[in-house]
A and B are shown apart, each in its own frame.
Chain A
Amino acid sequence: MRLKIRHTTRYRFETPVKYGLQQLRKTPKSSHQQSILSWRTKVENGRKELSFEDYHHNTTELISFAPGATDLSVISEGEIELTDTGGIVGAHRGPAPLWLYLRDTAHTRIKTGVRGLVRSIGASPDLEGMHRLAAGIREAVTYEIGASEPNWSAEDAIAAERGVCQDHTHIFLACARDMQVPARYVSGYLMLDDTTAQDAMHAWAEAHVDGLGWVGFDVSNGISPDTRYVRVATGLDYAEASPVSGTRIGGTGETLEVQIDVAQQ
């Protein structure tokens, strides 16, 4: 399947930005289940300073604001050819050691909520167990748009019993790691059946299963990723895989406008 994607992010500020940087992880990964036919990122009112590949093999770009800018746009677009692999991404690629994906982070801290959930689901650390874990999480924590805050941790969402795809993913990561299964966060695009226009990227998890390597689990939709899923960035949690993180001096009163189009060619 071939998907055409266009992703526009526009920031507006009430006061001019004196100096600012944004770190972008918006370029889809090239791997055997997805091949990048074309991709480009355009910046308006800013400039690309550099790019490099981070330790999760994410293409990372650093852009700066044009001095005095009151708005900044980042437009990424391209075409991706996808092959169905049943959610299997494959063998781990170094040099980041596999044990790194057992580390907990601020978003995936393992405390009583996570431990209790792991106990009650009672899954095994294999492929079947990971599917059970995903299903168990979806049951315990209801998917509800706007239910959570972006800085919520897995524990927060478990306590609230509701959340969005980011929360589901964080809970999955914390639980899998508690079971000694390496797991990572994936941010990417999902083609929807009923519409091409979206206002946010999607998130799902990958667990490293013996014999198969990395396998994807979309907790919120209760399936493993297929050819509608485009992997963009991976990390230990949202903070490492998020499409944009930034810092700036000046530029108060930020408003953000996101427009994503994912369509089959």
Chain B
Amino acid sequence: MNDIENFDEMWGHDGALRPAYRKFHDWFGEENPSRLRAKQREAEELFRLTGITFNVYGRAEAEERLIPFDIIPRIISGAEWLRLTRGIEQRVRAINAFLHDIYHGQEIIKAGRIPQEMISRNDAFVPQMIGVSPPGGIYTHIVGIDLVCTGAGEFYVLEDNARTPSGVSYMLENRETMLQMFPELFSQNRVQPVQNYPTDLRRSLAACAPSGGTDTPVVAVLTPGIYNSAYFEHAFLADQMGVELVEGNDLRVVDGRVAMRTTGGYKPVDVLYRRVDDDFLDPLNFNPESQLGVPGIMDVYRAGGITIANAPGTGIADDKAVYSYMPEIVEFYTGERPLLQNVPTWRCSDPEQLAHVLDNLGDLVVKEVHGSGGYGMLIGPTATRKEIAVFRKKLMARPGNYIAQPTLSLSTVPIFSRTGLVPRHVDLRPFVLVSPEGIKVTPGGLTRVALKKGSLVVNSSQGGGTKDTWVLED
């Protein structure tokens, strides 16, 4: 069952059952495979009926797809999780400090710790944010940190998501589904709850309301609309928080505030959890072609009349080129050594590093600096010679557009297949909330799994699935 080269989270390197999986293993041994197969189908039916789907980019509404759900939980021990959260908290603290600095004194550039070009030539830097101090000093209220595991307790950060991380609805719905289908598992294992996330999110957002407001700030979720790939999640979060789900055309500037059109007139919004990208947020101040945004919202923001979460311009912190400096960034702002490791990264903008990358294309993963969703990347070890040749040309034409990383031997976790449990590669996105009261990491997160044997691509747009992620109470 286990693969010698990879670390399996259930069986370790050596095939010895790891303690976190002990009770699950006992349960599974008693289970009838045909009952589990029925449960798997039941889960799918449940997802389809509740409409937990995502829209595939560039397709019509009819193309709503389910993300495959695997019924085998991924289990993390409480002690391992505690170590992990310390690293995550440290990193998120550093990200917010970095954002404040970049939009104010830029001490980190003056100190020579990161090159000026990293910011000055970066499209994710939003000049309109210069000098802006959001309430509580918080720029990223909601963060998702993408991690991969390579051994017991060995986690690497693959990517930071400081703009509008998505996927939290799957974390919650996966747990809900597991609770409904396998209640006995939850009596046998003490699994830390994730269900407080919506309440925590609302509280975090409300705590960042502009000063001088009421005791119960009005929070709303801004969605690009029903055709957006993550619309289900936007509606889900608004519903779970008990706040309005608004689109740009529901909002306008009234009496110096951003207000939403209700049946009884315009009502001011204090905190807007926006799931619209910076560029589309305000046609008056950013992309004038945008139909999704609210004209003048940046003016209201600058005048202190609304909190936008996450703040505009936070993308500068999760840019893949900036990512390679994260160890320096963490040290610079926290004065501590980074607890979470970065994947070693070659910046192709640097001629020496580019040369190394070109010499080793067959062993590396090469990614676009601004890409997402697993598109436009090269996975050297699994690519054909022709694919590598084509990519080499692209890379040489615009080296500054790429970074390269070694292919890590990602951990596997069992999934339920026709032949029983089989190992598949996974990653993990824990969700972090930042408020003036502190940083909160929800115990669990979204585990994405590459369903194809040997595949390392976990993106839902390319055949990845999801799993419920358990953090045990030790």
- Direct A–B touching, Cβ under 8 Å: yes
The one of B106, B256, B283, B302 in contact with A97, judged by C-beta atoms closer than 8 angstroms, is B106
Assess whether A100 is in contact with B127, with CB atoms less than 8 Å apart: yes
Chain B 293-321 near chain A by CB (<8 Å), digits 1 or 0: 00110011011110000000000000000
What residues of B have a CB within 8 angstroms of the CB of A19 in the complex? 252
- With A95-B103, A95-B104 as known contacts, state yes or no: A21 contacts B295, CB within 8 Å: yes
Chain B 247-273 near chain A by CB (<8 Å), digits 1 or 0: 000001111100000000000000000
Total interface residues in chain B, CB < 8 Å: 29
Q: Is residue A265 contacting chain B, with contact meaning CB distance below 8 A? A: no
Assess whether B303 is in contact with A21, with CB atoms less than 8 Å apart: no
What residues of B have a CB within 8 angstroms of the CB of A259 in the complex? none
Assess whether A50 is in contact with B284, with CB atoms less than 8 Å apart: no
Bound Cα distance A102, B116 (Å): 12
- With A62-B253, A245-B284 as known contacts, state yes or no: A96 contacts B131, CB within 8 Å: yes
Bound Cα distance A19, B296 (Å): 12
Bound Cα distance A161, B8 (Å): 70
Q: Is residue A94 contacting chain B, with contact meaning CB distance below 8 A? A: yes
Bound Cα distance A99, B255 (Å): 36
Closest-by-CB residue of B relative to A21 is: B296
Q: Is residue B120 contacting chain A, with contact meaning CB distance below 8 A? A: yes
Chain A 97-135 near chain B by CB (<8 Å), digits 1 or 0: 101101100000000000000000000000000000000
Assess whether B105 is in contact with A50, with CB atoms less than 8 Å apart: no
B interface with A by C-beta (< 8 Å):
103-106, 109, 116, 120, 127-131, 252-256, 283-285, 288, 295-296, 299-300, 302-305
The one of A50, A94, A95 in contact with B305, judged by C-beta atoms closer than 8 angstroms, is A50
Assess whether A52 is in contact with B128, with CB atoms less than 8 Å apart: no
Q: Is residue A139 contacting chain B, with contact meaning CB distance below 8 A? A: no
Assess whether B253 is in contact with A49, with CB atoms less than 8 Å apart: yes
The one of A50, A55, A99, A100 in contact with B303, judged by C-beta atoms closer than 8 angstroms, is A50
Residue of A19, A21, A52, A60 with most chain B CB atoms under a 10 A cut-off? A52
A interface with B by C-beta (< 8 Å):
19, 21, 23, 49-52, 54-55, 60, 62, 64, 94-97, 99-100, 102-103, 245-247
What residues of A have a CB within 8 angstroms of the CB of B304 in the complex? 52
Assess whether B127 is in contact with A49, with CB atoms less than 8 Å apart: no
What residues of A have a CB within 8 angstroms of the CB of B300 in the complex? 49-50, 62
Bound Cα distance A95, B116 (Å): 15
What residues of B have a CB within 8 angstroms of the CB of A246 in the complex? 284
Closest-by-CB residue of A relative to B116 is: A99
B350 CB to closest chain A CB (Å) equals 20
The one of A54, A55, A95, A100 in contact with B120, judged by C-beta atoms closer than 8 angstroms, is A100
Q: Could you pull out 15 A-B pairs where Cβ atoms are within 8 angstroms? A: A23-B284, A23-B285, A50-B299, A54-B302, A55-B131, A60-B302, A62-B253, A62-B256, A62-B299, A94-B105, A96-B131, A97-B109, A99-B120, A246-B284, A247-B284
- 14 more contacts with CB within 8 A, not counting A50-B300, A97-B120, A100-B120, are A23-B284, A49-B254, A49-B255, A49-B299, A49-B300, A50-B256, A50-B303, A52-B299, A52-B303, A55-B127, A55-B128, A55-B129, A60-B299, A62-B299
What residues of A have a CB within 8 angstroms of the CB of B116 in the complex? 99
What residues of A have a CB within 8 angstroms of the CB of B106 in the complex? 95, 97
Assess whether B128 is in contact with A49, with CB atoms less than 8 Å apart: no
Assess whether A96 is in contact with B130, with CB atoms less than 8 Å apart: yes
What residues of A have a CB within 8 angstroms of the CB of B288 in the complex? 247
Closest-by-CB residue of A relative to B103 is: A95
A249 CB to closest chain B CB (Å) equals 10
B313 CB to closest chain A CB (Å) equals 11
What residues of A have a CB within 8 angstroms of the CB of B103 in the complex? 95
What residues of A have a CB within 8 angstroms of the CB of B253 in the complex? 21, 49-50, 62, 64
- With A50-B256, A52-B303 as known contacts, state yes or no: A95 contacts B296, CB within 8 Å: no
Assess whether A102 is in contact with B120, with CB atoms less than 8 Å apart: yes
Bound Cα distance A23, B128 (Å): 14
Bound Cα distance A200, B304 (Å): 33
